Amino acid sequence: MKKMDILQAPFVREMVEVTTNLYRLGWDERNGGNISYLLKKEEILPFLDPNEVLRTIPMIFDGSKLAGKYFIVTGSGKYFKNVSAAPTDNLGVVRVSDDGKGVELLWGLTNDAVPTSELPSHFMSHIARLEVDPENRVIMHNHASHLLAMSFTHNLDEKAFTRTLWQMCTECLVVFPEGIGVLPWLVPGTNEIGKATAAKMKETRLVLWPQHGIYGAGKDMDEVFGLIETAEKAAEVYTYVCAQGGIKQTISDENLWTLADAFGVIPKEGYLEER
């Protein structure tokens, strides 16, 4: 059966749209940032023949828990700025090989391009998130400016960092009641940072890489984009608050408890003063 034009596939359109938005926001300079999006086989079948493997690309970690799964990913060294003009050069659809030692390329990543160098962090995070939420499909990394700046000026204790974000915008507690995970500074693209990110992802959908950027996870593109956008907005407000001379009043823990009750969310245990 004749396949449809993959450039019209909803998952390609979504990747184009989100990378364009992320670039517009200034969070993905040069090749900064990467996205992986778990696809269902039935989503790719109208566009691709799963038996037509263009090439196999080795991975430096064990992806066997994702064997047979399909993803659309951003390419390594590719600029989000360029994705909309040339999706085939900058994006790729891959399937994790049966032995978990590589990915089979089905579309895109032309001229021998390879998936993002952060594939260990992405795939290990997918494995971690799928264990707690079978609906999880998207992992997104970018260099959100104010969160990145805040990783220089704010205490990196997870509870302290989370509490400040919750206090900066009323919506924050509702959007990420589990808080934000914070790693130590680590070398990007390694299995070590992949394992550390995935370990945090078991508890929180947001993980800060100090002096580097942010990771987010969720069931769809809107959820992850919205999650990062909300935390980044709080970090932006924090930047203004500091520039305006510091906090004179904020949202009290009592208010945060009332908010949690009103929206039916459970704040991370121990992060708010007991009522």
Cβ within 8 Å of residue 179, ≥6 positions away:
158, 159, 162, 204, 206, 267, 268, 271
- Which residue in 98, 117, 103, 90 sits closest to 23, CA to CA? 90
151 binds ligand 13P (CB under 6 A): no
Q: Determine which helix (DSSP H) or strand (DSSP E) holds 175, and give its type and residue range.
A: helix 171-175
Phi, psi of 258 (to 5 degrees): -60, -40
* Smallest gap from residue 113 Cβ to Zn ion (A): 17
Selected binder of ligand 13P within 83, 93, 108, 118 (CB under 6 A): 118
Q: In angstroms, what CA-CA distances link 134 with 114, 127, 129, 131?
A: 27, 10, 7, 6
**Pairing relationship of beta strands 181-182 and 206-209 according to DSSP bridges:** parallel
Question: Measured from the CB atom, is 141 or 205 closer to ligand 13P?
Answer: 141
Q: Of these, 50, 100, 188, 226, which contacts ligand 13P (CB under 6 A)?
A: 188
Closer residue to ligand 13P in complex, CB, 47/71: 71
Cβ proximity to ligand 13P, 19 vs 167, nearer residue: 19
How many angstroms separate the most distant Cα atoms in the chain? 66
Q: Considering the complex, what minimum distance in angstroms separates the CB of residue 263 from Zn ion?
A: 32
Q: Which of 36, 116, 125, 230 binds ligand 13P (CB under 6 A)?
A: 116
Q: Does 236 participate in catalysis according to the annotation?
A: no
* Active centre residues (catalytic): 118
Binding residues vs ligand 13P (CB under 6 A): 31-34, 74, 76-77, 116-118, 141, 188
Binding residues vs Zn ion (CB under 5 A): 213
